[in-house]
Structure 1
Amino acid sequence: MESNNLIETLLRSLKILLILLLTSAGLMFFLGYILVVGDSNNDEPIVEIANYVKPDSNFVGLWPGPADWQKSKFNAEQQNLINYGKELIAHTADYLGPKGSVKPISNGMNCQNCHLQAGAQPWGNNYFAVQATYPKFRERSGTSENQVKRVSDCFERSLNGKAPDSTSREMKAILAYIEWLGTGVSKNKAPKGSGIYKLKGLKRATDPVLGKVVYEQKCQSCHQAKGEGVLAADGKSYTFPPLWGPNSYNIGAGLYRISNFAGYVKYNMPFGVTYKNAQLTDEEAWDVAAYVNSMPRPTKDLSKDWPNINGKPFDHPFGPYSDPFTEAQHKYGPYKPIKDWKEKHKANKSQKPSLASL
């Protein structure tokens, strides 16, 4: 009898437990239904479930650059040199501009105008890969270039001025800062987020007319209607740099290539934008690049550039070329036919002649 009573008690307990479990599950389902679907008197859901969007791998795990504490491994003199180099990049014109305190060898722009956050912003035309990848051969000069040449080119092209003396404290400081920014980067490697993002090309030519509209809507408030920028109160540098005209970068600068300018503005402009919160569409970036680089700016003797014309990039706007396309198409596009032609003829050159052709 006691055995039967025990079994009945266990069965009743299991039944009660099962009822409680079913009741809890039903309540949870009901609450979930109310939260997501809503009641019959309301067609709009109370809570919407967003679709998961996989992040773009191009913008995940970007190289952050070295932290300030890492300077502690240098002695006091080296730290001062690195800090001075950063200051020169951020406020170039205060020292080396037309009214600079050291020497007037540039146009009043700062290196930071093109190399954001003193050359430390991911996809902001930064210096992260410079120390690791130089010296290196560059088609533009047809020679192996070192870091001194890299800095000199910026002064002569982007700052439309003269290169600092290679033995000067200013050159040494800039080089020390660039070297420090490359801390932790493996030799011959460019970490993710280095330089300028390579924007996907358009199927059509870039359009300066459409770009003018973008400029007026997104850029003009800072860079002004005539591209002249905004001069700082002290008259030494620019709060917002000129994008064309006599005080802007010249035709030999890297940003005069429309592909470089487009990738730069896409993830850095309007001011304050980064790769995390881009405002421009790809087409707007390409078109505003075409507009800005269609405007007048200082010239430069480029006769010694690209001694091997086969090495000219697809959007270099000055001939002669080894391909049959015009200067206008090289400048504004469409670029795909140029790229295809280059790839095809590169492949042909690499092929060995057949016996029949000998």
Structure 2
Amino acid sequence: MRFFLSLCILLFAFPVYSMDVSPYSIGQKLTTKQALELTQKANNRPVQDWKLPNQSPDNEPNASSIKYGIALLSDTTKLIGPKSSDPKMRYSGNSLNCVNCHLAGPSNLPGTVPLGIPYVNVMNDYPSFRARSMRIGSAEDRVNGCMVRSQGQGKPFPSDSKEMIAIIDYFKWLSKGTQLNQAMTGTGLPKVTFPDRKANVQVGQRLFGTFCITCHGAGGKGQPSATYGKDGSYTHPPLAGKDSFNDGAGMSRLKKATRFIYGNMPKGTTAQNPTLTVDQAYDIAAYVESLQRPMKAHREKDFPNPRFRPDDYAVPAYFKGDKAAYDKAKYGPYPSPS
């Protein structure tokens, strides 16, 4: 009886948020027809207004876990980076913090900026169909996808690790008060109409020198902190080189990088009041994508069903020596809008 009461208290404290993927289950591989039907089902969900928790996590029964999740996402490099003082804690493979892409709002909570790849509705958006694997993926799968791509040559968290539990606890706390199995305004990145042309790397380099170099440094190598030698941290993140995301990360794709830059850069920009034009963001993104970065092994196994491959994911094996098709995937032009 005591166990039952404890379980009820836990469930009421943190309801099980999830997207309805019935009749499928996490890990299940889908056919093309099943994937299309489930994608349409997800796209047709009701859309709720943007919502953040109206109180701090201090009074939650698992406040310490939520706060640890916040710390992991905010100070990823120092806590679990490749120079962590505890070798067992070296999960991340580079010097990026999760909050570098999942931007923090005025509260300094990671993933709370509208159209800045927020976390606020993540527990209502998973489990979901993942085109990269053609399987149903969980929120935990999505976290680990970032660990081995956006976090360079990182390694996945065990599902029962203190770190994974803390991150998911934070996601659940962000979802408190939201409507089960609904989409939300402000998630993802802004939609844009892409220029009907190939992106210009040379123009992008010049624009980078005007708008980006002060923070991200020459060649996109970032600004190492005073303690870089000890903990590998940066005051402003690198966009290239060994300390940045690898070529299997979402941000390695030109369209996604364009949308992120347009809606969120330079620092302080919002999607509602952008600084750059889409054309400028497009060319800057092309320059960033032209820079050297770590390579993800076995990218040719990503997106096994060609129908679901992003048109800006430039993997040589997909194009079987067709250089023109490869270059178009890397630098456009692309169909619009997106």
Aligned partner of 2:278: which letter?
A: D
Assess, with a 3 A threshold, how the Cα gap between structure 1 residues 226 and 62 changes in structure 2: closer, same or farther. Answer: farther
Aligned residue runs from structure 1 range 1-358, under 5 A:
63-69=50-56, 71=57, 74-75=60-61, 78-102=62-86, 103-106=89-92, 107-117=94-104, 118-160=110-152, 161-235=154-228, 236=231, 237-301=233-297, 302-318=299-315, 319-320=317-318, 326-336=325-335
Aligned partner of 1:84: which letter?
A: Y
Please say which structure displays the higher CA radius of gyration: 1
Counterpart Cα distance in 2 of 1:269 and 1:217? 12
TM-score, with length taken from structure 2: 0.76
- Runs of 4 or more above 6 Å deviation: none
Higher relative contact order (CA 8 A, sep 6+): 2
Cα shift readout 1:61-110 (whole Å, capped 9, x = no counterpart):
961422234x36731xx111111101110111111012224512221211
The sequence identity of aligned pairs, in percent, is 37
Cα shift readout 1:160-212 (whole Å, capped 9, x = no counterpart):
11112222111110111112222233333221111211221111121111111
Counterpart Cα distance in 2 of 1:135 and 1:310? 21
Counterpart Cα distance in 1 of 2:122 and 2:135? 16
Q: Which moved more, 1:148-157 or 1:197-206?
A: 197-206
Assess, with a 3 A threshold, how the Cα gap between structure 1 residues 261 and 101 changes in structure 2: closer, same or farther. Answer: same
> Any unmatched runs of 5+ in structure 1?
1-60, 341-358
Cα shift readout 1:134-182 (whole Å, capped 9, x = no counterpart):
1111110111111111010111000111112222111110111112222
Aligned partner of 1:120: which letter?
A: T
How far apart are 1:215 and its partner, in Å? 0.3
Counterpart Cα distance in 2 of 1:251 and 1:310? 21
Whether the 8 Å CA contact 1:133–1:187 is kept in 2: the answer is no
Counterpart Cα distance in 2 of 1:285 and 1:64? 28
> Any unmatched runs of 5+ in structure 2?
1-47, 105-109
Cα shift readout 1:310-356 (whole Å, capped 9, x = no counterpart):
2101211125269x97011112111129x99xxxxxxxxxxxxxxxx
Counterpart Cα distance in 2 of 1:307 and 1:254? 16
Assess, with a 3 A threshold, how the Cα gap between structure 1 residues 276 and 62 changes in structure 2: closer, same or farther. Answer: farther
Matched residue pairs, number? 275
Cα shift readout 1:282-310 (whole Å, capped 9, x = no counterpart):
10011101110111110012132111122
Q: State the Cα RMSD in Å.
A: 2.2
TM-score, with length taken from structure 1: 0.72
Counterpart Cα distance in 2 of 1:321 and 1:187? 41
Whether the 8 Å CA contact 1:310–1:321 is kept in 2: the answer is no
Whether the 8 Å CA contact 2:190–2:271 is kept in 1: the answer is no
Counterpart Cα distance in 1 of 2:311 and 2:156? 28
Counterpart Cα distance in 2 of 1:231 and 1:172? 30
Counterpart Cα distance in 2 of 1:278 and 1:295? 25
Counterpart Cα distance in 2 of 1:274 and 1:309? 34
Aligned partner of 2:139: which letter?
A: Q
Aligned partner of 1:227: which letter?
A: G
**Aligned counterpart, 1:50:** none
SS of equivalent residue, structure 2 residue 284: helix
